[in-house]
Amino acid sequence: MSVQSAPEIRIGLGTCGVASGAEAVQGAALHAASKLGAPVKIKTVGCAGMCHLEPLIEIVESDGKSSFYGRVPPGAVPNIVARHFSPPRL
C-alpha cells in the first residue's frame, strides 16, 4: 500500500544554506509555486549535512518520491518546480 502525502519543496535554511543564498531560493520557490498554482507546501528545513551543495532543494512528490538539487541558483527554481508539479486541473 502506498502512502499519499502533500507534496513539499524543502529548502535548507541552516547557517550554511543562508550563507549560500538559500533565502533567495526560498523566495523564488514561493513565487514559482504560486505562479504555477501548484498545491505544494514550501517547507524550511535545517542542514542536511551536505553544506558543499547549498543552496539545496529537496522535492517530495505526493507519492513519496524524493529528488535533490544542489547548488541551486534562484533562476533555476521555476524550471525545477515546473518539472515536478503541474497546475491544478479544472
Structure confidence by residue, pLDDT tens digits, 65-82: 999 999 999 999 999 999
Residue extents of the structural domains in the chain: 48-62+69-84
Question: Residue 27's CB: how many other CB atoms inside 10 A?
Answer: 14
**Side-chain half-sphere exposure of 22, counting CA atoms within 13 A:** 28
Angle at 82 between CA 55 and CA 19, to 5 degrees: 10
Is-above-0.85 flag for pTM? yes
Alpha helices in 8-88 (DSSP H): 15-19, 22-36, 77-84
Starting at the earlier edge strand, list the strands of the sheet with 8-12. Answer: 41-45, 8-12, 57-60, 66-69
Across 3-7, 25-29, 35-39, 49-53, which has the greatest mean pLDDT? 25-29
Interval 8-25 mean pLDDT: 96
